[in-house]
Amino acid sequence: MIKKYLITTFRHLQRKRLFTTLNIFGLAIGISICWVIYRIVSYEYSYDKELVQKENIYRVVSGFVFDEKEDYNGGASKPLYQGIREQIDGLEHVVPIFENSFRSVEVDNSFGSPLRFDDQKGVAAIDSAYFNFLEYRWLSGTKSSFLDNPNSVVLTEDRAKQYFPDQVPNEILDRTITYYSYRDTITRTVAGVVANLPQPTEFNSHEFVPLPYIAYDLNIWTNTNGSDRLYLQLDKASNPAIIAEQIDDIIQQKTKEWRDQSENTFNFKRWIELLPLGESHFATHIRESNLRKASKPVLYGLMGIALFLLLLACINYINMSVAGIPQRTKEIGVRKTLGSNKKQLIGQFLLETLVTTVLAGILSLALTKLVFWFLKDIIPEGITPFANILEYLGFLFVLSVLVAILAGLYPGWLITRVNVISVFRSTSLQTKGSKGFNLQKALIIFQFVIALVFITSALIIGKQLQYSIKSDMGFNKDAVVLVQVPYKYVFEDKYDGKQFPLLEELKTISGIQNASLGAAPLSEGYASSAYEYSEEGKPAISRQVFKKWVDTSYVNLYNLKVLAGRNLHESDTPTEYVINETAVKAFGFASTQEALGKFIGQKDEKLPIVGVVNDFHMRDFYQSIDPMAFQMEKSNLTNFNIKLTSNTDQWQSTLSEIEQKWYRFYPPESFSYTFYDESIEQMYKQEKQLATLVNLATFVSIFISCLGLFGLAVLTAFQRTKEIGIRKVMGASVEGIVRLLSKEYIILVIIALVFASPIAWFAMDKWLEKFAYRIEIEWWIFLLAGIAAITIALLTVGYQAIKAAIANPVKSLRTE
């Protein structure tokens, strides 16, 4: 029986090749995107899911208020773990994980020269609590041998493979690794190799060194470093809120002690919060350097996109099926007369849907790879298209059933309502299901609302991105190349002060217009301090001021305008400031001229203002322009800004000349350059990712909607052949018929635009709100989106309309 049904189903699908193809394609795209997004979302939610005691694990994070701005740091001050262990009860484990950074790591390799790794990450200092807290499988060595030797190290499997390729864990024991940091050099012996933790995990360290017990000074209590992480596992009976309060008490107590001792008046607030481990991965408000974060709103957005795209595909299916019913009435009529009941009819239709979905699932295997390729910048590392084929099949099964029910039930029900007698008797046009036709229209409108929201959003995001990158930032960023002296050489005596002779050498290259040392005007790193200005008889004005260390050619190179006073003079240590207009206003000077000669700065280090430059953007467009002061201090000048001549053909040779000069002062591997405008673009990486995602969603939603529209146009043209024939015989022209057929779709798109515009406006307004400098959402964007949608719709239905219009009416009006 089932076999019979399957055979007829396949025959039917084959006969309706066009619609089967359209349906399968639409559904396959929906399924692929759903699957990819499901992979991303489930990956993000699977952090540390195998940790048994997960609910009782908390991370200690620090909150601050600086400058009336709240700020969170993922670390806790180093000594805090000792304080907690001494003073607080009800804790199972107190686990400090202090990340160490090294300039380079050298591995003793028994074959020939040692292997060298620069800037290794994931080296953590831990004590016995760590291995009690997390259960590692020891591939070689023991916990005790690690803890007994202060110069030991334990590697994870991954790290061991990197350091000692092709060697088994037992062979690695007692081998030595040398760590070079800025201050000292330590040689450690491998005390063990542990298996990797189940991925993904927040505990991402790969090398463990023993954390010695240190009696910390009081001032260390006030230092918080994001790389010093602290985890707590609470007893089941403990109340996290109370524990958090107790920890906070310790911090407040120590801060007070320190204040009393140092007589420091600097006003800042600090507190402690306990973050449940499950939330840690999503805590995007905490700044962190070594942990990847996932933003919940982004994940919800992704799920929304997946849902909408799948819905679009289902709508297509519904629309095409409903539109196809009049063509099938005869078949249905015959089936009914021969004794098929409602259940069987619906069952047959659902089977058709199921087969279509399964075929779509097979096709989506290939499409998924395509989607992965397209979204490679967005998909976190470690996610593969098909890690587990069973999971995919399960996903496909659930989705197929869901789609079959969602997309198949309504048309199936409509089929059962076909009136047998009218099918056989009626010779005139089928007008059955006029209600269904209205539903179809509503669904098409819904599809276009979604497509238009995406189109509009894509336009606005693109425009804002363009604005952020291309608009005038107050300085000239064209043809500027940045080269940085690597951090590790900055403090090495061997390279001390070498940037200055190199700068002079660079200036002699003919392809270079100007060269300067100093932090680029707009850059990710920045430093700020509270500066004071005090007029006699008035309270001092204190403002947070951004400090930029630059040399004397900087202002000229970036085309900054000196509005009053003069540029900085050459000096080894800061002797004077050049400030920006915002700083002039912030300190309350009446004019730029007025500011000249005034002394500002940190307490006891006040220096005169000698010049004022125009405002320029120092940070991305999310931040407003803040007070800024240029100052010269030779030891802080480590960034080369090189302005090339406008002759772009010459750039390549100029760059290799720069490289040649570089080799005479610094090691060859340290040379790397970026074009400044490109590095500014890099700052908007997240926004670019969003743009990629929205562009993909736009493309897919338009594509799916058009598949549906195309299918519907084909069916409508078919349904209306007779009408078109009559109209032509009555004298309608081809243009008239095309207009008649297309007009309806345009009206649908316009209605969709009416719904979509406010939705898109609301969503985009919310998004733009975060930018301090943003574009206006202008009406023509919506108009453009509408025109784009109408054009696409017309192109989709146009061919069908023209084909229907030029057909010979004699054929359609033949009475048979």
Name the residues that contact other proteins, by CB under 8 A: 427-429, 431, 722-723, 725-727, 729-733, 736, 808-810, 813-815
Distance from C-alpha of 804 to C-alpha of 715, rounded to nearest angstrom? 11
Q: Give the residue from 711, 7, 24, 708 showing the smallest Cα distance to 357.
A: 24
At closest approach, how far in Å is the CB of 723 from other proteins? 6
Residue 429 or 772: the one with the smaller Cβ distance to other proteins is 429
Distance from C-alpha of 413 to C-alpha of 346, rounded to nearest angstrom? 6
Phi, psi of 526 (to 5 degrees): -160, 160
Residue 718 or 771: the one with the smaller Cβ distance to other proteins is 718
At closest approach, how far in Å is the CB of 807 from other proteins? 12
* Residue 109 exposed, middle or buried by CB count within 10 Å (0-12, 13-18, 19+): middle
Residue 214 or 429: the one with the smaller Cβ distance to other proteins is 429
At closest approach, how far in Å is the CB of 729 from other proteins? 5
* Residue 702 exposed, middle or buried by CB count within 10 Å (0-12, 13-18, 19+): buried
Residue 110 or 434: the one with the smaller Cβ distance to other proteins is 434
Residue 185 or 733: the one with the smaller Cβ distance to other proteins is 733
Are residues 633 and 552 in contact, defined by beta-carbon separation less than 8 angstroms? no
DSSP state, residue 568: P
Residue 473 or 737: the one with the smaller Cβ distance to other proteins is 737
Residue 291 or 734: the one with the smaller Cβ distance to other proteins is 734
Amino acid at position 620, single letter: D
At closest approach, how far in Å is the CB of 815 from other proteins? 5
Distance from C-alpha of 785 to C-alpha of 760, rounded to nearest angstrom? 11
* Residue 474 exposed, middle or buried by CB count within 10 Å (0-12, 13-18, 19+): buried
Are residues 192 and 154 in contact, defined by beta-carbon separation less than 8 angstroms? yes
At closest approach, how far in Å is the CB of 733 from other proteins? 7
At closest approach, how far in Å is the CB of 804 from other proteins? 15
At closest approach, how far in Å is the CB of 809 from other proteins? 6
3-state secondary structure 407-446: HHHHHHHHHHCCCHHHHHHCCCCCCCCHHHHHHHHHHHHH
At closest approach, how far in Å is the CB of 320 from other proteins? 22
Residue 334 or 810: the one with the smaller Cβ distance to other proteins is 810
Distance from C-alpha of 529 to C-alpha of 543, rounded to nearest angstrom? 8
Distance from C-alpha of 199 to C-alpha of 27, rounded to nearest angstrom? 32
At closest approach, how far in Å is the CB of 739 from other proteins? 12
Residue 343 or 425: the one with the smaller Cβ distance to other proteins is 425
Residue 437 or 599: the one with the smaller Cβ distance to other proteins is 437
Distance from C-alpha of 347 to C-alpha of 334, rounded to nearest angstrom? 17
Residue 242 or 806: the one with the smaller Cβ distance to other proteins is 806
Distance from C-alpha of 5 to C-alpha of 789, rounded to nearest angstrom? 40
> 3-class SS at 588?
coil
Cβ neighbours around 422 below 10 Å, total: 12
Are residues 129 and 213 in contact, defined by beta-carbon separation less than 8 angstroms? no
At closest approach, how far in Å is the CB of 455 from other proteins? 33
Q: Give the residue from 203, 193, 403 showing the smallest Cα distance to 318.
A: 403
At closest approach, how far in Å is the CB of 803 from other proteins? 16
Residue 110 or 427: the one with the smaller Cβ distance to other proteins is 427
The radius of gyration of the chain's CA atoms, rounded to the nearest angstrom, is: 35
At closest approach, how far in Å is the CB of 321 from other proteins? 22
Q: What is the DSSP string of 591-628?
A: SHHHHTT-EEBSTT--EEEEEEE-----S-TTS----E
Residue 562 or 732: the one with the smaller Cβ distance to other proteins is 732
Phi, psi of 191 (to 5 degrees): -105, -5
Structure tokens at 758: 């406010």
Residue 113 or 808: the one with the smaller Cβ distance to other proteins is 808
Q: How many degrees, rounded to 5, is the angle at CA 180 between CA 174 and CA 181? A: 130
At closest approach, how far in Å is the CB of 720 from other proteins? 10
At closest approach, how far in Å is the CB of 419 from other proteins? 13
At closest approach, how far in Å is the CB of 730 from other proteins? 4
Distance from C-alpha of 368 to C-alpha of 384, rounded to nearest angstrom? 10
Distance from C-alpha of 458 to C-alpha of 702, rounded to nearest angstrom? 12
Alpha helices in 634-684 (DSSP H): 651-663, 676-682
> In the chain, helix, strand, coil percent, each to 5?
50, 15, 30
User: Omega into 200 within 30° of 0, i.e. cis?
Assistant: yes
3-state secondary structure 68-113: CEEEEECCCCCCHHHHHHHHCCCEEEEEEEEEECCCEEEECCCCCC
At closest approach, how far in Å is the CB of 336 from other proteins? 22
Phi, psi of 646 (to 5 degrees): -75, -5
Structure tokens at 284: 């995007």
Residue 297 or 731: the one with the smaller Cβ distance to other proteins is 731
Residue 337 or 426: the one with the smaller Cβ distance to other proteins is 426
At closest approach, how far in Å is the CB of 727 from other proteins? 7
Residue 324 or 725: the one with the smaller Cβ distance to other proteins is 725
